[in-house]
């Protein structure tokens, strides 16, 4: 291992800035220091040390202790203070920092280095005993919580009692003596709980905190977050040790958090919260109500306490200059943390700010217009999956709203659902397909899985930068935080808002854009696809290589997809069409018929219906390719189960009920997924495919006749495993086409191809391509058949497979590139060898997933096909992949 500790601040010009090594926080601290911003000096212990720590049975690599001592000496040199010194003590913060920010996952310890001696030194050196003892009590509580794992409730209770005794309301009312007394109580608590006195030796404190940061990497909540965000365990976290600066040194001191642009709307306005005479997490903890940063924001909110712009105009101007420097340097919106110590501004953190999809779009488009980034960079700046937030309906402004209360518009979007009061119930209900609104006093990292499962989040406490707000925005969940007048009884599972009483399971609606909380379900409207969205999509389409089609089987879905920019249909399933109430009887009659003649009679009833289906879709997609898959599912899926259904079918077909039942029995399968389905139906009952092909060509001719824009039918044979199967089915389709063309007196271009969804098909692709004019990778089934996992049953163990690192992500969500991907590559290569211009696309669910789309681009497929609402996501993802692949 190379250098384990990297210095920043002062004259330290560490060349190393890699996030992989220093973590995001450490890397950006070094970066800020190097461009001349005021950063308290410190050092970063690399992520490699964390990895080595776990590789070596949780022990530190040799030489680390010396390097850490050097780091402390570096800080001492710049600050002129000494670690552990009784007259002029150096205090440090110990901060975790992984490569990507993991909000709330790792805890920071502040004011480390205080003990019964140094606290007096700090009081003398600063001339402020109140401040010194306030810092000491903060340190003991944080250290006890984060490092020793003691319950912080006991400490908070002691503080509450102390304040009550004095009749105080705010922490800031406590005097030096009050804090000193509390410190003694805190020490007593530690001794009672651990059986040992609070550690007095600063070096022990330091190593205790460093160890706690590394340990927290493997905490349950960190693991959950990693799983949800596909962060590998090997990345590890870095540890940052940094000189303390103090925002709690009276009224010329303060601490705050800010964004260089509005993270909810993207508007170019400084946006943030701050508190006078406070430290660390006070701003986001919700103990005191934070103040607004700018005068405009304060006035808009009608708040009294002064903004920073008004209370500290000079420092505010300085902060504004820092914002500009940071935006110009990073060329992106920044999320920063700062502290003012006796009028002096210090920067404690910067990172690319999390933002809503709306803000992401606006910031990308604005920054391109400002000349800060190029159009192509703008395209790369927006996370395709975040568009999901924008592509979904918003509340109908004309619909009546029964507004219960109003909170902060913490994360935009509208959501309705049943209220639940804890994360586990939310997760369980969501797993059953229910829409849930998670209601909490405030959220914490333990709630992450519930927040993920919920449609929306409502909290009684917390501001715009509270845990709930930050996490919800990151996940794209609508969130209303700090909603006034919410009384939550977690035990009784009752929510009271004024005189309204809501029970678990009652439905409410949230508007994350306005902060409104409404009773019942409020109807929604489709999104508008103009403005910044339209602009970015135009830029994306300029660089995109792959076409984007949609999976749709109704004209309505096809229309939505076309409005979203779909360039054809990649998968039109035909089985759903068979379930229609007025057709199912004919379908059943066809299935249960004993011979071809019986089947043909039933199919004749279905033909005009199918023709109508296809005409509707061709009408919407006129001039564009439409891939229609012939009947695929096992027939038993259509069979009657109820007595009266048997009677209806029997009457329609003119046979006895008993005979029908016997036939239904015959059709029973042990493993339908691997049974009589796909082209196996066409091989045994060619007349089914014949009818479907006829319906397709009749409809296509009719639409060509009516509209002048001929659709381009691409008839797709499912579940092919061999060339011979395909040849037989293609002959049926071609024959139907010729017959229809002769009848209609016109011909149309069409293709016949196959879905590649069996490993054998992928391997035999060279031969199959000799006859097939296109391949569409049906990656849902290809994943099932390659890994041998049934998607419907995978839920029971898949989470564990992801947790244990067997799969990096759910292979039904993102293509398993290594395995399934290899088959796609083989099929692509072999198919193209035989037929260089063979058309290649993907239709499974993966067609709307950005990492899978990236794989398709790299493999050189011609198009991806996604569900209608994911079409814009696919357009953007395909554009990004094209740029990255250059
Ligand atoms: P998180 O990752 O949870 O944001 P941080 O390491 O950024 O944790 O620490 C949280 C807060 O602690 C910071 O926002 C800052 O206010 C305070 N803090 C951290 N380091 C220092 C320091 N050296 N001096 C003063 N305050 C600090
Ligand atoms: Mg934190
Ligand atoms: Mg921070």
What is the b/e burial string over 317-331, where b = at least 16 CB atoms within 10 angstroms of the residue's CB?
A: ebbbebbebbbeebe
The 10s digit of each residue's pLDDT in 824-845 is 999 999 999 999 999 999 998 8
Of 653, 465, 545, nearest to 877 by C-alpha is 545
CA 25–ligand 3 middle distance (angstroms): 8
Angle at 446 between CA 440 and CA 450, to 5 degrees: 60
Collapsing DSSP to helix, strand or coil, 26 comes out as helix
For the cut 60, the answer to whether the pLDDT of residue 582 exceeds it is yes
Q: What percent of the chain stands above pLDDT 70?
A: 98
Q: Does residue 348 have its Cβ closer than 6 Å to ligand 1?
A: yes
pLDDT of residue 697: 98
For the cut 90, the answer to whether the pLDDT of residue 471 exceeds it is no
Same domain, 113 and 190: yes
The 10s digit of each residue's pLDDT in 518-557 is 999 998 776 767 789 999 999 999 999 999 999 998 888 8
CATH number at residue 276: 3.30.470.20
Overall average pLDDT of the 387-402 stretch: 82
Asked whether residue 310 is domain-assigned, the answer is yes
Asked whether residue 821 is domain-assigned, the answer is no
Taking each continuous run of H as one helix and of E as one strand, the counts in the chain are: 34, 33
Overall average pLDDT of the 684-690 stretch: 96
Angle at 281 between CA 279 and CA 283, to 5 degrees: 85
201-210, 299-308, 466-475, 769-778: range with lowest mean pLDDT:
466-475
Asked whether residue 695 is domain-assigned, the answer is no
For the cut 80, the answer to whether the pLDDT of residue 327 exceeds it is yes
pLDDT of residue 1: 53
Asked if 493 and 504 count as a contact pair (C-beta separation under 8 A), the reply is yes
Same domain, 421 and 450: yes
Q: Assign 650 a pLDDT band (cuts: 50, 70, 90).
A: confident
Q: Assign 492 a pLDDT band (cuts: 50, 70, 90).
A: very high
The 10s digit of each residue's pLDDT in 739-750 is 999 999 999 999
Overall average pLDDT of the 679-699 stretch: 97
Asked whether residue 864 is domain-assigned, the answer is no
Same domain, 123 and 219: yes
Overall average pLDDT of the 692-712 stretch: 93
Helices (H), 583-685: 584-592, 596-620, 643-653, 657-666, 679-684
Q: Does residue 242 have its Cβ closer than 6 Å to ligand 1?
A: yes
pLDDT of residue 511: 92
pLDDT of residue 795: 74
Same domain, 225 and 260: no
Q: Assign 648 a pLDDT band (cuts: 50, 70, 90).
A: confident
Asked whether residue 361 is domain-assigned, the answer is no
**Between 726 and 664, the higher pLDDT residue:** 726
Say what the pTM is: 0.77
Look-up: residue for tokens 């503080």? 159
Measured distance CA(134)–CA(821) in Å, rounded: 58
Same domain, 274 and 206: no
Asked whether residue 852 is domain-assigned, the answer is no
Mutate which of 110, 135, 346, 474 for ligand 1 pocket (most atoms within 8 A of beta carbon): 110
For the cut 90, the answer to whether the pLDDT of residue 17 exceeds it is no
Q: Which residues are catalytic?
A: 467, 843
User: What are the distances in angstroms from CA 499 to CA 121, 485, 489?
Assistant: 55, 10, 14
CA 296–ligand 2 middle distance (angstroms): 29
The 10s digit of each residue's pLDDT in 112-133 is 999 999 999 999 999 999 999 9
Asked if 769 and 751 count as a contact pair (C-beta separation under 8 A), the reply is no
Overall average pLDDT of the 791-809 stretch: 83
CA 468–ligand 1 middle distance (angstroms): 19
Same domain, 138 and 258: no
Tokens of 637: 């899926």
Collapsing DSSP to helix, strand or coil, 743 comes out as helix
* Residue minimizing CA distance to atom 8 of ligand 1: 108
Measured distance CA(41)–CA(72) in Å, rounded: 10
388-397, 431-440, 488-497, 811-820: range with lowest mean pLDDT:
388-397
Q: Assign 793 a pLDDT band (cuts: 50, 70, 90).
A: confident
Asked if 486 and 497 count as a contact pair (C-beta separation under 8 A), the reply is yes
The 10s digit of each residue's pLDDT in 254-286 is 999 999 999 989 999 999 999 999 998 788 776
> Taking the alpha carbons of 18, 19, 22, 25 in that order, is the dihedral positive or negative?
positive
Residues 6+ apart with CB under 8 A from 763: 823, 826, 827, 830
Collapsing DSSP to helix, strand or coil, 651 comes out as helix
Overall average pLDDT of the 12-32 stretch: 87
Q: What percent of the chain stands above pLDDT 90?
A: 71
For the cut 70, the answer to whether the pLDDT of residue 572 exceeds it is yes
Provide the residue range defining the domain that includes 296.
254-352
Q: Assign 13 a pLDDT band (cuts: 50, 70, 90).
A: low
Sort residue 277 into left (φ over 0), alpha (ψ -120 to 50) or beta. left
Radius of gyration over every alpha carbon of the chain, rounded to an integer in angstroms: 32
Last residue in a domain, options 505, 525, 545: 525
Closest atom of ligand 1 relative to the 349 alpha carbon = 7
Number of domains the chain contains: 3
Q: Does residue 272 have its Cβ closer than 6 Å to ligand 1?
A: no
The 10s digit of each residue's pLDDT in 41-61 is 999 999 999 999 999 999 999
Same domain, 141 and 188: yes
Mutate which of 33, 209, 349, 465 for ligand 1 pocket (most atoms within 8 A of beta carbon): 349
Measured distance CA(603)–CA(595) in Å, rounded: 12
Helices (H), 143-240: 152-166, 176-194, 202-216, 220-229
pLDDT of residue 725: 98
* Residue minimizing CA distance to atom 22 of ligand 1: 244
Same domain, 208 and 271: no
Q: Does residue 347 have its Cβ closer than 6 Å to ligand 1?
A: no
Strand ranges inside 742-817, DSSP E: 751-756, 774-777
Helices (H), 464-511: 467-475
Asked whether residue 436 is domain-assigned, the answer is yes
CATH number at residue 514: 3.50.30.10
CA 280–ligand 1 middle distance (angstroms): 5
H/E stretch holding 375 reads helix 375-381
Asked if 20 and 2 count as a contact pair (C-beta separation under 8 A), the reply is no
* Residue minimizing CA distance to atom 17 of ligand 1: 280
Ligand nearest to the CA of 146: 2
At residue 436, what are phi and psi to the nearest 5 degrees?
A: -125, 140
Q: Does residue 339 have its Cβ closer than 6 Å to ligand 1?
A: yes
Last residue in a domain, options 181, 211, 243: 243
Last residue in a domain, options 193, 215, 243: 243
Overall average pLDDT of the 700-706 stretch: 93
Strand ranges inside 329-433, DSSP E: 334-341, 344-352, 394-395, 403-406, 408-411, 414-420
Same domain, 473 and 344: no
Mutate which of 40, 71, 72, 95 for ligand 1 pocket (most atoms within 8 A of beta carbon): 95
Overall average pLDDT of the 177-189 stretch: 97
Angle at 22 between CA 21 and CA 23, to 5 degrees: 100
CATH number at residue 108: 3.30.1490.20
Strand ranges inside 373-506, DSSP E: 394-395, 403-406, 408-411, 414-420, 436-440, 456-459, 479-481, 486-489, 494-497, 500-503
Sort residue 865 into left (φ over 0), alpha (ψ -120 to 50) or beta. beta
Collapsing DSSP to helix, strand or coil, 502 comes out as strand
Measured distance CA(40)–CA(78) in Å, rounded: 9
Same domain, 443 and 415: yes
pLDDT of residue 581: 66
Of 776, 774, 703, nearest to 740 by C-alpha is 703
CA-CA-CA-CA dihedral for 121, 122, 123, 124, to nearest 10: 50
Q: Work out the end-to-end distance of the chain between its first and last CA atoms, rounded to an integer number of angstroms.
A: 34
pLDDT of residue 476: 67
Same domain, 202 and 296: no
Tokens of 461: 């406490």
Q: Tell me the average pLDDT of the chain.
A: 92
β 774-777/547-551 pair status? unpaired
Asked whether residue 740 is domain-assigned, the answer is no
Same domain, 48 and 18: yes
139-143, 470-474, 479-483: range with lowest mean pLDDT:
470-474
pLDDT of residue 15: 66
Sheet with 5-8, side-by-side order of all strands: 5-8, 42-45, 237-243, 92-98, 109-112
């Amino acid at each position: 291992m190379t250098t384990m500790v990297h210095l920043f601040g002062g004259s330290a010009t560490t060349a190393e800035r890699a996030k992989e090594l220093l973590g995001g926080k450490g890397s950006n601290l070094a970066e800020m220091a190097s461009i001349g911003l005021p950063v308290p000096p410190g050092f970063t212990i690399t992520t490699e040390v964390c990895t080595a720590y776990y590789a070596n049975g949780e022990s530190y690599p040799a030489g680390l202790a010396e390097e850490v001592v050097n780091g402390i000496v570096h800080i001492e040199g710049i600050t002129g203070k000494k670690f552990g010194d009784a007259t002029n003590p150096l205090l440090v913060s110990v901060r975790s920092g992984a490569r990507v920010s993991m909000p709330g996952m790792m805890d920071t310890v502040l004011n480390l280095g205080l003990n019964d001696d140094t606290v007096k030194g700090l009081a003398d050196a600063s001339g402020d005993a109140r401040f010194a003892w306030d810092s000491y009590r903060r340190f003991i509580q944080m250290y006890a919580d984060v490092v020793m794992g003691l319950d912080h409730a006991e400490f908070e209770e002691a503080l509450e009692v102390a304040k009550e005794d004095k009749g105080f309301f705010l922490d800031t009312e406590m005097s030096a003596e009050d804090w000193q007394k509390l410190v003694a109580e805190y020490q007593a608590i530690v001794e009672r709980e651990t059986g040992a006195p609070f550690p007095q030796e600063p070096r022990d404190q330091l190593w205790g905190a460093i160890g706690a940061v590394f340990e927290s990497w493997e905490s349950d909540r960190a693991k959950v977050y990693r799983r949800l965000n596909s962060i590998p365990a090997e990345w590890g976290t870095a540890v940052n040790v940094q000189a303390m600066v103090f925002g709690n040194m009276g009224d010329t001191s303060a601490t705050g958090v800010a964004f260089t642009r509005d993270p909810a709307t993207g508007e170019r306005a400084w946006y943030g919260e701050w508190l006078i005479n406070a430290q660390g997490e006070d701003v986001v903890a919700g103990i005191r109500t934070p103040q607004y940063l700018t005068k405009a924001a304060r006035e808009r909110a009608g708040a009294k306490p002064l903004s920073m712009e008004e209370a500290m105009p000079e420092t505010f101007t300085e902060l504004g200059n820092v914002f500009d420097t940071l935006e110009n340097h990073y060329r992106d919106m920044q999320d920063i943390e700062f502290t003012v110590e006796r009028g002096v501004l210090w920067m404690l953190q910067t990172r690319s700010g999390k933002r809503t999809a709306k803000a992401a779009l606006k910031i990308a488009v604005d920054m391109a217009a400002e000349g800060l980034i190029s159009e192509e960079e703008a395209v790369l700046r927006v996370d395709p999956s975040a568009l999901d937030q924008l592509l979904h309906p918003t509340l109908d402004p004309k619909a009546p709203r029964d507004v219960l209360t109003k909170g902060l518009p913490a994360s935009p979007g509208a959501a309705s659902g049943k209220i639940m009061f804890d994360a586990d119930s939310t997760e369980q209900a969501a797993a059953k397909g229910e829409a849930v609104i998670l209601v909490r006093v405030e959220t914490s990292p333990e709630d992450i899985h519930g927040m993920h499962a919920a449609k929306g989040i409502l909290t009684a406490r917390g501001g715009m930068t509270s845990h709930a707000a930050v996490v919800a925005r990151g996940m794209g969940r609508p969130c209303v935080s700090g909603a006034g007048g919410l009384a939550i009884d977690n035990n009784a599972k009752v929510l009271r808002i004024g005189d309204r009483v809501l029970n678990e399971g009652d439905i409410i609606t949230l508007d994350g854009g306005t902060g409104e909380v409404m009773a019942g379900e409020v109807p929604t409207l489709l999104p508008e696809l103009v403005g910044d969205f339209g602009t970015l999509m135009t830029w994306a389409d300029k660089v995109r290589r792959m076409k984007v089609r949609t999976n749709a089987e109704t004209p309505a879905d096809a229309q939505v997809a076309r409005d979203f920019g779909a360039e054809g249909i990649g998968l039109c399933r035909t089985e759903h069409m068979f379930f229609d109430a007025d057709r199912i009887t004919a379908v059943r009659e066809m299935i249960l018929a004993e011979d071809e003649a019986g089947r043909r009679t039933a199919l004749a009833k279905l033909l005009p219906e199918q023709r109508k289906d296809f005409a509707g879709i061709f009408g919407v997609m006129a001039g564009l390719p439409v891939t229609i898959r012939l009947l695929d599912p096992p027939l038993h899926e259509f069979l009657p189960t109820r007595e009266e259904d048997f009677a209806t079918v029997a009457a329609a077909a003119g046979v006895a009920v008993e005979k029908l039942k016997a036939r239904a029995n015959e059709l029973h399968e042990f493993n339908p997924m691997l049974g009589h389905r796909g082209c196996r139906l066409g091989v045994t009952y060619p007349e089914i495919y014949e009818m479907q092909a006829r319906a397709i060509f009749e409809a296509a001719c009719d639409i060509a006749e009516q509209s002048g824009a001929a659709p381009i039918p691409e008839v797709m044979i499912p579940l092919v495993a061999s060339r011979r199967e395909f040849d037989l089915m293609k002959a049926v389709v071609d024959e139907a086409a010729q017959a229809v063309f002769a009848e209609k007196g016109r011909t149309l271009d069409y293709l016949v191809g196959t879905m590649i969804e069996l490993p054998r098909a992928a391997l035999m692709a060279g031969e199959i391509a000799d006859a097939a004019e296109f391949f569409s990778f049906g990656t849902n089934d290809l994943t099932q058949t390659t890994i041998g996992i049934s998607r419907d049953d995978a839920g029971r163990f898949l989470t564990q497979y992801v947790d244990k690192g067997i799969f990096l992500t759910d292979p039904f969500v993102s293509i398993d590139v290594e395995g399934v991907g290899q088959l796609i590559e083989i099929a692509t290569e072999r198919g193209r060898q035989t037929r260089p211009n063979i058309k290649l696309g993907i239709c499974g669910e993966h067609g709307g997933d950005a990492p899978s789309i990236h794989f398709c681009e790299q493999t050189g497929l011609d198009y991806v096909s996604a569900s209608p609402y994911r079409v814009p996501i696919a357009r953007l993802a395909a554009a990004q992949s094209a740029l990255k692949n250059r």
